[in-house]
Amino acid sequence: MDIIAPVKNFLLLLLCAAFLLAGCGRQKKKDHLVIGVSYQNLQYEFTIYLQDAIRSQAKKMNIELIELDSRGKAEDQISEVENFIAFGVDVIILNPCDKEGSAPAVDIAVREKTPIVVLNTIVTNFQKAQAFVGSEDAEAGRIAANYMVSLLKGKGSIAVIHGLNGHSAEVQRSAGINEVLHKYPEVKIVVEQSANWDRAQALTLMENWLSSSKQIDAVIAQNDEMALGASKAIEAAGKQQEMPVIGIDAIRDALKAVEQGKMAATIFQDASGQGRLAVEIAQKIIAREPVAHINYIPFKLVTRENVKQYMKNE
């Protein structure tokens, strides 16, 4: 993987140089906006949904996009932002990889006076950016935990499958879950472990938990991929009816599982809403219209009752 980054950056520089040469005259009087977007990782399905929304919105508003994928590497994200500035984009949309590691990218944009919009994931210095668009990850944890408490009627043992340790979504979703469960002393976390956002790893983990003699009444997974892995193991063990599973993100597979009753619920994070709003805000900043600094798109609980309406959106 590592050998790709320098090549990519080099190609980008070449591209920039070519554009600068070709567009010397055009530079002054552009007929449309140019937005640079740095994605955290286009190997995650959720990031791809963001990309879809940004692309369709940009097309609608006649905005040119330059898109780069930092493949989960914060250090690459910094050089990508530098390259955007060198190229002279009007606004940068940053979808950070890491809460701490991607923060310098915001500092650079602020220093170079290029407006920057932080999308989906928080960075420590997001106050310095022109705007933040996203959802509060802790809220997703709270919604999941609250629904779980109501399913268990205030009493039971829960297994929690964490995302990649230290990832900001993992940290905040954990905080939200713990915050709620704290209020219900009779609901206990009996086992918790990371499966690195990965379906196969969650499957293995759940199989091993089911083999152990621990009593588990329900499972909260911090994303849908892991929830699907866990539900596969539970299904194989024939415990589908007695052991509800909740995931987060509302990806297609998970919605299907909710519809079929294999998962109790998922939590809809509005990727298209986030992507759309980010582009709109970017356009407003250039037009010098006022924008709110923090723009939360609320999470929504998806259960068997309301799953149909989310599936239509696909």
Partner 1 sequence: MLSKYGIYFAFCLLVIAMAIISPAFLHPSNIVNILRQIAVNGIMAVGMTFVMIIGGIDLSVGSILALAAVVAASFAHPGEHRVIIPVLMALAVGLGVGFINGIIIARKRLAPFIVTLGMMTVARGMALVYTNGRPVINLSDGYNRIGGGYFIGLPIPVLAFLLIILGGIFFLHFTRFGRYVFAIGGNELAAKVSGVKTQGVVIRVYALSGMLAALAGVVLSSRVMSGSPSMGQGYELDVIAAVVIGGTTLSGGVGSIGGTIIGALIIGVMNNGLDLLNVSSYWQEIVKGVIIVLAVMLDRKTNR
Measured CA to CA, the distance from residue 190 to residue 75 in angstroms comes to 37
Give residues 283-312 in contact with partner 1 (rule: CB under 8 A).
Answer: none
> Closest distance between partner 1 and the C-beta of residue 177, in Å?
16
What character string, x for contact with partner 1 (CB under 8 A) and - otherwise, covers 83-122? ----------------------------------------
> Closest distance between partner 1 and the C-beta of residue 246, in Å?
19
Measured CA to CA, the distance from residue 266 to residue 256 in angstroms comes to 11
Reduced to 3 states (helix: H, G, I; strand: E, B; else coil), residue 122 is: coil
- Closer CB to partner 1, 194 or 295, in the complex: 194
> Closest distance between partner 1 and the C-beta of residue 199, in Å?
5
75 binds partner 1 (CB under 8 A): no
Using CA atoms, how far residue 186 sits from 66, 153, 158, 182, 264, in Å, is 51, 10, 11, 9, 21
Report the C-alpha dihedral over residues 25, 29, 33, 38, rounded to 10 degrees.
40
Binding segment for partner 1 (CB under 8 A), chosen from 12-20, 119-127, 251-259, 268-276, is: 251-259
> Closest distance between partner 1 and the C-beta of residue 279, in Å?
20
Q: In the set 12, 63, 78, 205, which binds partner 1 (CB under 8 A)?
A: 205
229 binds partner 1 (CB under 8 A): yes
User: DSSP secondary structure string, 149-182?
Assistant: HHHTTT-EEEEEEE-STT-HHHHHHHHHHHHHHT
Helices (H) and strands (E) in the chain, counts: 11, 12
Question: What's the Rg (C-alpha) of the chain?
Answer: 21
- Closer CB to partner 1, 19 or 44, in the complex: 44
204 binds partner 1 (CB under 8 A): yes
What character string, x for contact with partner 1 (CB under 8 A) and - otherwise, covers 125-164? -------------------------------------x--
Strand order in the sheet with 131-134: 64-69, 34-39, 91-94, 116-120, 131-134, 294-296
Q: In the set 107, 139, 207, 259, which binds partner 1 (CB under 8 A)?
A: 207
Give residues 14-73 in contact with partner 1 (rule: CB under 8 A).
Answer: 42-45, 48
Residue 113, judged by CB atoms within 10 A of its CB (0-12, 13-18, 19+), counts as exposed
Residues of this chain that bind partner 1 (CB under 8 A): 1, 3-4, 42-45, 48, 162, 165, 191-194, 199-200, 203-205, 207-209, 211-214, 228-229, 232, 236, 252-253, 256
